[in-house]
Chains A and B, each alone.
Chain A
Amino acid sequence: GAVVSQHPSWVICKSGTSVKIECRSLDFQATTMFWYRQFPKQSLMLMATSNEGSKATYEQGVEKDKFLINHASLTLSTLTVTSAHPEDSSFYICSASLVTDTQYFGPGTRLTVL
């Protein structure tokens, strides 16, 4: 139980384009979903917290107009990187939680912006 999927697993795009990443909780309804960014050999940095049907809460320093988050249902959250640039290249990971504290992570999406 508590399986989280992400799609795509990797994506390469041209600078200036937008990329959408999906995060789904497959066998449970997630009250909250989280989006993290992880650079090579570094820790997980929380970007934003999203609850179904409400606006996402962004961490300090994360541009909400650049990283659009939509949490349309209890099983789906999307992250759209708008006007992507090479410095946005990273490993993006989502997680989902039930009503308890435990966060279950998706497999991650490796984004490369050329």
Chain B
Amino acid sequence: GENVEQHPSTLSVQEGDSAVIKCTYSDSASNYFPWYKQELGKRPQLIIDIRSNVGEKKDQRIAVTLNKTAKHFSLHITETQPEDSAVYFCAARVGGSNYKLTFGKGTLLTVNP
């Protein structure tokens, strides 16, 4: 089955700096890669996603890049703010798998004011 590795497990940045979280996946048939933000005790919230026919997608301060050849994708957050502090999860979906997602272990992002 699909295996998703996520790094780093923790990331601390100063407010205004950029943050980058990286994930690798194992199954070359994966074609959908969402990123979720989860605050303590809350539900995961979809923040951005990318499909395999696109190399990059941007939404304001958040961007995701995908390298299919290397089987890795990254989340980029620019101009970080304290409210960006949360756990971020990447995920991958193998095509035709009934939309089942495999999640990475998560990255705890702390933005220091």
Name A's B-contacting residues (CB within 8 A): 32, 34, 42-46, 49, 51, 57, 93, 97, 101-108
Contacts and interface: CB of A to CB of B under 8 A. Distances in A.
Given A34-B100, A43-B106, A57-B98, A105 B45 contact: yes
Contacts of B102: 46
Nearest to B105: A43
Interface residues of B, number: 22
Contacts of A34: 100-101
Chain B binding site: helix, strand, loop or mixed by DSSP? strand
Interface of B: 32, 34, 36, 41-46, 49, 51, 89, 93, 98-106
Contacts, number: 50
Contact of B34 (A32, A43, A93, A101): A101
16 contacts: A32-B98, A43-B104, A43-B106, A44-B89, A45-B103, A46-B100, A46-B102, A49-B99, A51-B98, A102-B46, A103-B99, A104-B46, A105-B36, A105-B43, A105-B44, A105-B45
Contact of A106 (B34, B43, B100): B43
Given A93-B44, A101-B49, A44 B103 contact: yes
B99 A101 contact: yes
B49 A42 contact: no
